[in-house]
Amino acid sequence: MHFLDQAKIYVRSGWGGGGAVGFRREKYIEYGGPDGGDGGKGGDIIFEAVPGLNTLIDFRYTQHFRAQRGHGGSGSNKTGAGGDDLVIKVPVGTQILADDDERTVLADLTKVGQRLVFLKGGDGGRGNASYKTSTNRTPRQHGTGWPGEEAWVWLRLKLLADAGLVGLPNAGKSTFINAVTNAQAKVGAYAFTTTRPQLGVVRHKNNEFVVADIPGLIEGAAEGAGIGDRFLGHIERCKVLLHLVDANDEDVATSYRIVRDELDAYGAGLTDKQVIVALNKIDTLDDELIAALSAELEEASGAPVIPISGASGVGVDWVLDKLLEAIGEEHERVADDDEGEETVEWSPI
């Protein structure tokens, strides 16, 4: 399945049905009169976050979504049936953005089953029975139904993961995620082997958490160099970042700083997240060199460095322990922040 994390679509709610013009005419009934019913309401446009989806590829081929129009009223004061709502199913983590600037977030669907009435259908028109007055006993006017709402919007997917992998190309991120999860990321001895984000589920010590791997960053990614920084949005929601540095790089401190500078240039609080630094591919080095490189990287990052090898598994359990610990701490912090706060349902309408 192809991965697509952005799509532009057109949505329109249903028009209201027209009111009816009718008059009561029955045998043996002395008095008649207007009996035209109201029109039905148009269908709403509803977005729903569903499990099992991790791409917006379906919206590449279907880009126009229109809800059903309300049915017209009829005689005997019968109100027309309402139009069916149109439910648009999107992956969890999908944001809906305004078309004019592609920055204004109109909605953010972050939970399974979350539903949002994005556009409301138009109300039905009035039938002629509702226009009857003491001076107008046989009205023939009626409402045609109110128009629905329409909009062009951008859908942007930000994958939901507990931990995110960052690093230069060929830092060993794909090898690591393949070793600890059920992912099958492509591995190759060339830059940008990973061209799209990957998700994997880690099962460690009777716990599960989700790891996201994004394409490698190079110097100038914020200005569009390489694949650029467009995939960094997929780690904005991560609770902790695992920064992998290739032990075979000429200068591990510089490799670390390049990625950190790009995260800082991107913003969105990425440099404020807890980071675990790991020196990867140590299976190719001796103990003395590993110690020297770890010390150099620790001085540059200001954090403890874990020597690992995704290929051989050395140090991997240690890293998973640290990730699990950080994720647990973040869960507790969020729970404390939310305690006592009232949850308010939000809608752009």
Provide the annotated binding site for Mg(2+). Answer: 174, 194
Cα–Cα distance measured from residue 143 to residue 124, given in angstroms and rounded to the nearest whole number: 8
- H or E stretch covering 246: strand 240-246
| Residue where the block lists tokens 């507990």 | 162
The contacts of residue 77 (CB under 8 Å, 6+ apart) are 35, 36, 37, 127, 129
| Residues that constitute the known binding site for GTP | 167-174, 213-216, 280-283, 309-311
| Residue where the block lists tokens 């949505």 | 11
Cα–Cα distance measured from residue 67 to residue 55, given in angstroms and rounded to the nearest whole number: 23
| Residues that constitute the known binding site | 167-174, 194, 213-216, 280-283, 309-311
H-assigned helices in the chain:
58-61, 173-180, 252-266, 287-301, 316-338
Residues in the chain, total: 349
Tokens of 193: 């082997």
Cα–Cα distance measured from residue 192 to residue 67, given in angstroms and rounded to the nearest whole number: 42
